[in-house]
């Protein structure tokens, strides 16, 4: 499991109504938990030396792989805006298809506006933050399906 995949799992946990997530993939098992008010904690359930040498047997009737949902995050600290100006229509709405690199929102800090861009193509599955909310860099803003 690579670091990008682990970060996506942490982002997913941050937006999901659960406090614990356990994933087993390619002989590696990882458990991520979220405590009240604390940052998500990443802890392997098996010591790393054992994980590297313990093959995981595939079940004969394994479920088909589920497509991962991507999360669009805030590029910096500031106030999140869904539209380019007050009263203007939003950049995107739930159910809308977006392309990689497409502008989907803005983050304003000290009158400087940073574009929020989709990292990959997909469909807006959910808007995770309300317009006008103060966000930190890396805050999940949209979920793509």
Q: What is the pLDDT of residue 53?
A: 47
Q: What is the pLDDT of residue 133?
A: 93
Residue ranges of the chain with per-residue pLDDT less than 70: 1, 13, 16, 35-69
Q: What is the pLDDT of residue 110?
A: 87
Q: What is the pLDDT of residue 6?
A: 75
Can you tell me the distance from the alpha carbon of 83 to that of 104, in angstroms, rounded to the nearest whole number? 8
Q: What is the pLDDT of residue 68?
A: 57
């Amino acid at each position: 499991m690579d670091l990008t995949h682990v970060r996506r799992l942490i982002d997913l946990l941050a937006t999901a109504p659960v406090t614990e997530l356990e994933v087993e993939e390619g002989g590696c098992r990882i458990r991520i938990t979220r405590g009240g008010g604390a940052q998500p904690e990443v802890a392997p359930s098996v010591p790393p030396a054992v994980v590297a040498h313990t093959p995981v047997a595939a079940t004969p009737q394994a479920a088909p792989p589920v497509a991962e949902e991507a999360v669009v995050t805030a590029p910096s600290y500031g106030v999140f805006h869904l539209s380019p100006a007050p009263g203007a229509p939003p950049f995107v709405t739930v159910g809308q298809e977006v392309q990689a690199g497409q502008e989907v929102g803005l983050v304003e800090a000290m009158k400087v506006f940073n574009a929020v861009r989709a990292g990959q193509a997909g469909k807006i599955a959910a808007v995770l933050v309300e317009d006008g909310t103060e966000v930190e860099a890396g805050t999940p803003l949209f979920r793509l399906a």
